[in-house]
Structure 1
């Protein structure tokens, strides 16, 4: 774990995010740890925390609706096993909540991460509601969130990058879903990630705020699909200034030749930035891409270094 954190520090130039761990907590369903549930462990994080707290989660399926509050910063969640440490719930939009209200997309998440400087590794995040509409596995609002070797499982709206002033980094992660399963406002880099489509639909639905230099950036990723899936778009603009870029990404034959969709918003073609560089594989042929998308030059590509994207205005280097 120490080697992992050191590597991330060097990569992102954000040593202040990873200060010395001062508290370690173990969660185990069999009672061998400090707590049996993840939320009990999260509840112990002090408000306005400035020193890193490490929570080690032993193998198990933890069916809990989790929340890390806006004041509970500097938390690391470390799973014992990627495929066997599972944080899951099953809310969906339209479902009745315990208080009598009806869930919307924003309230369906299995895990809400509102705090800054969050780190997770070797954990599966899941929403098991099925194909019933919007059902978020993880909603990330806080800034400087890092996920390494994690899985995000769901259907529509699996991963909600919700914070408008949030920069996020996903390394060696697996993300699956059906429609718009990576969506939201945040700046996010997906580095060497596996993106898996389970339905003929759309992978991304960026809602990049006007004035942001970056939105979603996929680098050295791999796009695959379930058997029989053959009509998938790389993305569509949830809001007019959406930005999504794929660099050195292997694309399966399920990716449509046109690549991108305007969500029936012709005006969004003028303000959105949808671009690629060196797309590969059967879906990587860009000759028939929609005319309003872009192919980056080598010079353009230099602007998409990981450290550059994540330092954009509100990123890691903005924190003193």
Structure 2
């Protein structure tokens, strides 16, 4: 994860404006689904052949839940939900059966992700998002793949009240960008090595599998690169349960912002987690502003004896601030979505 180059600032400001403009005004008509669209890569039954075509067919400023059911198959395309199309459900047939693949790398001016979701009120279930050019570099070079390990993004989530169930995100560096807004990830699989969960999202990961895929000869990687910029910002990453496993060695995170905040609670750490655990990166000497905590974690990688001395300890009352209900669901939005979690 590199610090954002100057050309990235304007697009991010636009996302913030769209987030505040749309985030609180739409409830999508409760938990009723007004319409269902079907995607089938072969166009059977008159269905759309591409996922993007299905999204494009939805009217702008949609205010009712529209479900897009994606039949099993490998869809080689870049998928984007624009900021003016909230209230969309993308439903696959399981992350092993409904797969979206694309191969762009990140440029100086955009993330170029396989999947980008910009509006509020988006639900995704049972889909895998993969990178054609980098997601399976570990273990040797693939035919036709450049020898250079490129920064490529599987998914960018930039909308408030976004939820993901039983999804897979497979990449190497910057796999999942939780850019801004409140996000809920449940029973998801997230793979990578360097900063592969990053951004300024207010994101809660429940029972997710974090898989480290360190390439041979590479230095220890980083699971998170959380970019909280101010002590007043509500964002941070919370991992409840789940596991960290895989190949090689990795830090739990490094600071992409001066007030970076990441909490693991009751998570299983395999031996891939290095003893130091955390890295302040460009904020060396400012560690007092950073909130990195591990509470009631287990496994061989959870031994805190050699952790960085500035890792935070949390009381039960402090930890309560980072429960699902307190951290992302104070207004009950998760209780009103048309998916039982």
Range class of TM-score, shorter chain? 0.7 to 0.9
1: CA distance between counterparts of 2:288 and 2:151? 28
CA distance in 1, matches of 2:125, 2:100: 12
Other-structure match for 1:202: 222
Query: Can you give the 5+ residue segments of structure 2 that lack an aligned partner in the other structure?
Result: 1-25, 138-148, 215-219, 337-341
Task: Pick the aligned partner of 1:218 from 239, 254, 257.
Answer: 239
Partner of 2:281: 263
2:186 is the alignment partner of 1:168: no
How far the C-alpha of 1:106 sits from its partner, in A, is: 3.1
What is the aligned-residue RMSD (CA, Å)? 2.0
State the alpha-carbon separation in 1 of the partners of residues 154 and 166 from structure 2: 16
| Structure 1 outlier segments of 4+, above 6 Å | none
Is 1:117 aligned to residue 121 of structure 2? yes
Q: SS at the partner of 2:95?
A: coil
Helix, strand or coil for the counterpart of 2:308?
Answer: coil
Matched, 1:78 2:91: yes
Distance 2:255 2:58 in 1: 37
TM-score, L = length of structure 1: 0.86
Q: How many pairs does the alignment contain?
A: 289
CA gap 1:16/1:70 in 2 versus in 1, 3 angstroms: closer
Q: The residue matched to 2:287 in structure 1 has which SS?
A: helix
Partners of 1:311 and 1:148 in 2: CA distance:
16
**Aligned positions of 1:1-320 closer than 5 A:** 16=27, 18-33=30-45, 34-93=47-106, 103-104=107-108, 106-130=110-134, 132-163=149-180, 166-199=181-214, 200-210=220-230, 211-226=232-247, 229=248, 231-311=249-329, 316=333
CA distance in 2, matches of 1:185, 1:106: 16
Rounded to whole Å, the distance in 2 between the matches of 1:299 and 1:137 is 36
Instruction: Provide the rounded CA distance (Å) in 2 between the counterparts of 1:240 and 1:190.
Output: 22
**What's the offset of the Cα at 1:209?**
3.3
Determine the structure 2 residue equivalent to 1:96. Answer: none
Could you tell which deviates more after superposition, 295-304 or 148-157? 295-304
Give the direction of change, closer, same or farther, for the CA distance of 1:113–1:214 in structure 2 (3 Å limit). closer
| Alignment match, 2:12 | none
The answer on whether the counterparts of 1:138 and 1:158 sit within 8 Å (CA) in structure 2 is yes
Offset, 1:257 = 1.2
C-alpha distance after superposition, 1:212-241 (max 9, x if no partner):
244000000200012xx1x31000001111
Contact map agreement 1:46 1:72 (CA 8 A) in 2? yes
State whether residues 60 and 84 of structure 1, in contact with CA within 8 Å, keep that contact through their aligned partners in structure 2.
yes
Q: Secondary structure at the match of 1:24?
A: strand
Tell me how far 1:40 sits from its aligned partner: 0.3
Structure 1 residue ranges without an equivalent (≥5): 1-14, 94-102
In structure 2, the residue corresponding to 1:175 is in which secondary structure?
Answer: strand
The answer for the alignment partner of 1:10 in structure 2 is: none
- TM-score, normalised to structure 2, is 0.81
